[in-house]
Amino acid sequence: MPAVREALLAWGASFAAIILAFLIHRPAAPLVATVGFLYLPLWISRRRDEDLSEYGLTFRRWREDLRLFALLAAVITPAFFLLSWGFYSLLPHLPPALGGLISPVTSPPHFHLALPPKFGRWILTELLVVALPEELFYRGYVHTRLRDAWPEGRTLWGARLGRAFFLTAALFAVGHLAIFQVWRLAVFFPALLFGWMRERTGTILGSTLLHAFCNLLQLVLAASFFA
């Protein structure tokens, strides 16, 4: 199917570019990812004479996007806290290569609410440099092209979930292996929420906000557990 091949080729090219940048000059990998995730959808949409609103870059459902974001953020926060506590409690017992997030860790975590340094800059970075480019590429471009090929799916709470939905989440998770940290495959699960929001509202506004929120929550919890 041409749409599937196109989406997989675009994903493969971006994945390979990030790995190459990581191996050659590690600090350049995030920049390569951001540029690639933004440029590829823009370039493809121009070649197809499409509007980026077809990839979900629109504010037409912003009220519903904000409501869903607020609801899911309220549900995710306590769950994320408990999962983080369990994960961080395991870190002292893992080899540094498996811990991969905070290394070395020699004592169990003790929670004390704290913000990472320069948190305002982190907010802008996670929203505009990380979440928006990734959502435009994955939930915007890749999901849309796969759904063109596989429009079928079952409806769950107003969102159509089919092969395109689950494959996009899987590609998103595998794409995070570009920096060789196996634990990042866990992003498959929040990717399901991002994809559900994309299907529910037809935009990537809500998923971008939730994506950035999850990343920022992870930073806050890391700073709070390990000051």
pLDDT tens for each residue of 105-159? 556 678 888 898 899 999 999 999 999 999 999 999 999 999 999 998 899 999 9
The pLDDT assigned to 102 comes to 46
Kindly report the average pLDDT of the chain as a whole number.
Answer: 88
Question: In this structure, what are the phi and psi dihedrals at residue 155, rounded to the nearest 5 degrees?
Answer: -90, 130
Distance CA 171, CA 11 (A): 8
Which runs of consecutive H residues, i.e. helices, occur in 48-185?
62-90, 96-99, 119-124, 132-135, 143-149, 163-175
| 3-class DSSP state of 152 | coil
**Domain of 51?**
2-225
- In the predicted model, what is the mean pLDDT of residues 212-218? 95
Distance CA 55, CA 142 (A): 9
pLDDT tens for each residue of 31-85? 888 888 988 888 888 888 888 899 999 999 999 999 999 999 999 999 989 888 8
The pLDDT assigned to 95 comes to 63
The pLDDT assigned to 225 comes to 83
Residue-wise DSSP of 112-145: -----TTHHHHHHIIIIIIIHHHHIIIIIIIHHH
Q: With bands split at pLDDT 50, 70 and 90, how would you rate the model's confidence at 186? A: confident
Nearest to 208 by CA among 227, 190, 194: 194
Structural domains in the chain (count): 1
